[in-house]
Homo-oligomer: A and B are copies of this chain.
Amino acid sequence: MRRARSITIRDVAHEARVSVASASRALNGADGVTEAMRERVLSAARRLRYVPHSGARILSTRRTNTFGVILPDLYGEFFSEIIRGADTAARAHGKHLLLSSSHDGADAVAEVIRSMRGRVDGLLVMSPHIDAQLLADSLADDLPMVLLNTEVEGGRHPCFRVDNYAGAFAAARHLAERARLVAHIAGPLNNSEAEERCRGWRDALGETAGPLLQGDFTEESGFLAGQDLARMSPRPDAVFAANDTMAVGCLAALAEAGIAVPDAMAVAGFDDIPIARLMRPSLTTVSARIADLSRRALERLARLVDTPDTLNDLLETVRPEVIVRGSSRVDPQSRHSNGEQG
């Protein structure tokens, strides 16, 4: 546990009997160095187990080789997917990822962003909280930034977003094809994604929209909503949850209440988290390939950092796709469901 003074480039230079400048050049593979000297420096470094101090390098190069990722939370499959996508891209570029959860609230995000100055080259920010607008204003412009599913008017930063409205609209329509009354379990208030999805559901169904249950994206809230649903009369025969996590909770409640899915009640979620496919019945959902989205967002950020370029392609919208699975299949694997010839 002894924490000795760590060895610096000076030590290496001394050991190799060259100047610090030359050592630096050799270490960084800069040209203008004799092969002999380079070898001497490198071997000295090896002998001393020299490891460059990133803090110092950051200060002098003004490069951190790190991207900050700010998410509302780090918990659960959804954010795990986002992290995975970002990580994939970061690795590909040899960059680090500085992670932070903001737990909602634009001021919290602003604070986190502040604390990241000087330790990241750029930011990937997801802040679905409705007052993200405040955010935009309080942002320093001196840090490249890419937004993810974050509604901001000013539009100075590239933004990758899922068309939540269209996805929800399609899902609701799908359910309406087989059901008379389609309920909705909404996400948290003041969340722009939740709002868009709710709006999509409502617009898709018009007057025939079923009851609206308030949730908060957690599984538990989905469970409670499922219990409410089970007690209703007339009972809706379909429900669209604003995310998969709530849909999963809802399924559990329905199973407990002895309500058959999809026969007595069809269920659909949103996000296509990995577990959706694995539920029994498997969960119909709306997929936006979120890991892919975050990967591309980080790629974009990397480009932005390298070349603070033109303002084009500021907004990229992904049109999600309904994935029909067991929880809403009209005729659940009757005979060979492959033969779609009529």
Known: A84-B75, A118-B52. A3 touches B308 (CB 8 A): yes
Partner of A54, one of B77, B118, B280: B118
One of A34-42, A57-65, A127-135, A230-238 contacting the partner: A57-65
Identify which of A25-33, A98-106, A163-171, A182-190 touches chain B: A98-106
Whole-angstrom distance from the CB of A129 to the nearest CB of chain B?
Answer: 17
A83 adjacent to chain B (CB < 8 Å) = yes
CB < 8 Å neighbour of A101 from B77, B87, B255: B87
Contact, CB under 8 Å: B275 / A1: no
* A209 at interface, CB cutoff 8 A: no
A66 vs B335: C-alpha distance when bound (angstroms) = 57
CB-nearest residue of chain B relative to A248? B278
Interface membership of A180, Cβ < 8 A: no
9-residue interface stretch from A109-117, A196-204, A264-272: A109-117
Number of copies: 2
Contacts of A55 in B (CB 8 A): 55, 58-59, 64, 118-119
Q: Bin chain A's interface residue count.
A: 35 or more
The smallest beta-carbon distance between A6 and chain B, in angstroms, is 5
**A117-B80 in contact (CB<8A):** no
B52-A3 in contact (CB<8A): no
Residues of B within 8 A of A6 (CB): 117, 140, 142
Instruction: State whether the Cβ of A47 lies closer than 8 Å to any Cβ in chain B.
Output: no
Q: A6-B140, A74-B87, A77-B275 are in contact. List 9 more A-B contacts (CB 8 A).
A: A1-B308, A2-B141, A3-B144, A6-B142, A96-B99, A96-B115, A96-B116, A275-B275, A275-B278
